[in-house]
Structure 1
């Protein structure tokens, strides 16, 4: 029971980071195909997709 609070907070943090990543992907200058690919990756694999986008995604 003690660990369930941290699971909820961690899940909320992942959700917030993924929404932030998707907004940044939409705002990027990348082509439409790359944007769709990154968004699908972030949605299908929330943690790994976010980390991949953060480190490998298009930079401004």
Structure 2
């Protein structure tokens, strides 16, 4: 339980965001003609910002590549995992 204690405040703030993302992800990410829907653009922009943030971190290249792969292959879930467990705020 001690390992989860620092993450509880983030989880409490992420609950409404998670609910919103679940609702928006149930909408189509692509339109019928293959173009991105509005939520697709939002997720794409958040993914790009998260990837920039990953490569700015002072981590080893292996950890950066792992987080980039998680965000790339799981766009919505990867963003949530990165925000919760990437260790922000640690100097």
- The normalised TM-score by structure 1 is 0.83
Note if contact 1:42-1:49 (Cα within 8 Å) is conserved in structure 2: yes
- 2:74 is aligned to 45
Q: Is 1:30 aligned with 2:67? A: no
Measured on the aligned residues, the alpha-carbon RMSD in Å equals 1.7
Q: Is 1:59 aligned with 2:88? A: yes
- The normalised TM-score by structure 2 is 0.56
Highest RCO, 1 vs 2 (Cα 8 Å, sep ≥ 6): 1
How many residue pairs get aligned? The number is 56
- Structure 2 residues without counterparts, runs of 5 or longer: 1-27
- Structure 1 residues without counterparts, runs of 5 or longer: none
Large movers: runs of 4+ above 3 Å = none
Larger Rg belongs to:
2
